[in-house]
Structure 1
Amino acid sequence: MEVNEEARCKELAKLSSFYHAVYSEIEEVGWEHLVRLGGDLTFLSFRVLDKKGRAHVMEIQLDKAYPRVPPMVSVDAPYIFNLEWSMNSRLKKLVQQFEEHLEKLQGFWSTLDQIDRSLQIVDSKQASRAMSYRQIHIGNDCSIILSIDINDPRSLPECRFMGSGTIVNSLKKTWKRNISRWIRDKPFSENLECLLKTELPRPVDEEENNHLVECGICYAQYLPIGDELGPNSGNATDYTCENNSCSKAFHSTCLVDWLRSITTTRQSFNVLFGHCPYCSEPIAVKIKN
Structure 2
Amino acid sequence: GPLESWCYPPPPLATPELTRALRRTARGKRGRRARADRPRSTAPCSRRDEQRRHHLLEITLPMNYPACPPSIAADVPYLPKLQWSESSRLKDVLCQFQEHLKVLQDYWSTMDGIDKALWVVDPTKPTYAMSHHRIALGDDCYILLHVDTHKPNSLPECRFLGTDGKLERLIKNWRKNRKRWSADRKFHENLATVLDFALPQPPSVSIKDDQQADCGICYATHLPVDDELGTQSGCAADYKCENPSCSRAFHSVCLRDWLRTITTTRQSFDVLFGNCPYCSEPVAVKSTDS
TM-score of the pair, normalised by structure 1: 0.55
Q: Give the aligned partner of residue 68 of structure 1.
A: 67
Q: Secondary structure, in 3 states, of the residue corresponding to 2:111? A: helix
Offset of 1:126 from its aligned partner? 4.1
Q: How many equivalent residue pairs?
A: 178
Q: Give the aligned partner of residue 47 of structure 2.
A: 48
Give CA deviations for 1:231-287 in whole Å, capped at 9, x if unaligned: xxxxxxxxxxxxxxxxxxxxxxxxxxxxxxxxxxxxxxxxxxxxxxxxxxxxxxxxx
The answer (yes or no) to whether the contact 2:122–2:135 under 8 Å persists in 1 is no
How far apart, CA to CA, are the structure 2 residues paired with 1:80 and 1:151?
A: 13
Offset of 1:41 from its aligned partner? 7.0
Q: Secondary structure, in 3 states, of the residue corresponding to 1:125? A: coil
Q: Give the aligned partner of residue 139 of structure 2.
A: 140
Q: Give the aligned partner of residue 93 of structure 1.
A: 92
How far apart, CA to CA, are the structure 2 residues paired with 1:210 and 1:169?
A: 42
Offset of 1:44 from its aligned partner? 2.1
Offset of 1:68 from its aligned partner? 2.4
Q: Give the aligned partner of residue 122 of structure 2.
A: 123
Q: Secondary structure, in 3 states, of the residue corresponding to 1:109? A: helix
Which structure has more RCO (C-alpha within 8 Å, separation ≥ 6)? 2
How far apart, CA to CA, are the structure 1 residues paired with 2:124 and 2:68?
A: 36
How far apart, CA to CA, are the structure 2 residues paired with 1:56 and 1:125?
A: 19
Q: Secondary structure, in 3 states, of the residue corresponding to 1:151? A: coil
How far apart, CA to CA, are the structure 1 residues paired with 2:83 and 2:189?
A: 41
Offset of 1:127 from its aligned partner? 2.4
Q: Give the aligned partner of residue 179 of structure 2.
A: 180
* 2:167 aligned with 1:168: yes
Q: Secondary structure, in 3 states, of the residue corresponding to 1:102? A: helix
Offset of 1:88 from its aligned partner? 2.3
How far apart, CA to CA, are the structure 2 residues paired with 1:69 and 1:153?
A: 34
Q: Give the aligned partner of residue 199 of structure 2.
A: 200
Q: Give the aligned partner of residue 258 of structure 1.
A: none
Structure 1 segments of 4+ aligned residues over 4 angstroms from their partners: 208-211
How far apart, CA to CA, are the structure 1 residues paired with 2:183 and 2:52?
A: 25
Offset of 1:64 from its aligned partner? 2.9
Residue 102 to residue 209, structure 1, CA distance change in 2 (3 Å): same
The answer (yes or no) to whether the contact 2:170–2:195 under 8 Å persists in 1 is yes
Q: Larger Cα Rg: Structure 1 or Structure 2?
A: 1
Residue 153 to residue 97, structure 1, CA distance change in 2 (3 Å): same
AA matched with 2:194: L
Q: Which runs of 5+ in 2 are unaligned?
A: 1-25, 211-290
TM-score of the pair, normalised by structure 2: 0.55
The answer (yes or no) to whether the contact 2:40–2:63 under 8 Å persists in 1 is no
AA matched with 1:71: P
> Root-mean-square deviation (CA), in Å?
2.9
Q: Give the aligned partner of residue 102 of structure 2.
A: 103
The answer (yes or no) to whether the contact 2:122–2:133 under 8 Å persists in 1 is no
AA matched with 1:56: H
Q: Secondary structure, in 3 states, of the residue corresponding to 1:178? A: helix
How far apart, CA to CA, are the structure 2 residues paired with 1:207 and 1:86?
A: 51
Offset of 1:80 from its aligned partner? 1.1
How far apart, CA to CA, are the structure 2 residues paired with 1:63 and 1:206?
A: 46
Offset of 1:122 from its aligned partner? 1.9
The answer (yes or no) to whether the contact 2:40–2:62 under 8 Å persists in 1 is no
Which protein is richer in helix relative to its size?
1
Residue 208 to residue 60, structure 1, CA distance change in 2 (3 Å): closer
